[in-house]
Copies of this chain bind each other. A is one copy, B any other.
Amino acid sequence: MAPSACAACRSQRKKGSDECLLAPHFPSDDLQKFAIVQKVYGFSHIVKMLKDVKAEERADVVKSLVYEPTARVKDPVYGCTREIHQLQKRIADLESLLVYTQTELLDMRFDHEKLVYFPTICEEVDPMLSCDPLWELQI
């Protein structure tokens, strides 16, 4: 008995086959998944792209082939490049914030070391808490 036709075979009005390259990736109960990919790439191009890679890479090819036109449906102008731009912007923002925080940390370390090794600087903060080193005192 022939297997039931996958979503790709159904789109071509073909019977299912054990040798169908697309069947493992486009089950018959998810017609939309194949429809969105077919609309952009076309049946024969999808088959060619899957044939051009190793069998164990085909699931990842299908994932990325679904991802790109899904992004294009959401954004007909930029497609998945919008997400790339947004991620690049997020990276630029994070890098700025990181540089700012690292600079603050360096400044704080510098101030801290001044306090530890030259503690008289405490006087500048509060003369009541004067902490002159002993050898500066006239005992």
Residues of A within 8 A of B (CB): 40-42, 45, 49, 52-53, 57, 60-61, 63-65, 67-68, 76-81, 83-84, 87-88, 90-91, 94-95, 97-98, 101-102, 104-105, 108-109, 111-112, 115-117, 119-120, 122, 125-126, 129-134, 137, 139
Contacts and interface: CB of A to CB of B under 8 A. Distances in A.
28 contacts: A41-B41, A42-B45, A49-B76, A61-B76, A65-B79, A68-B68, A68-B79, A68-B81, A80-B80, A80-B81, A80-B84, A90-B91, A91-B94, A94-B94, A94-B98, A98-B101, A101-B105, A105-B108, A108-B109, A115-B116, A115-B119, A115-B122, A116-B125, A119-B129, A122-B131, A130-B134, A132-B134, A134-B137
A77 B54 CA distance: 9
Contacts of A77: 53, 57, 60-61, 64
Determine chain A's interface SS by DSSP, over half rule: helix
Nearest to A66: B81
Nearest to A136: B131
A40 B42 CA distance: 9
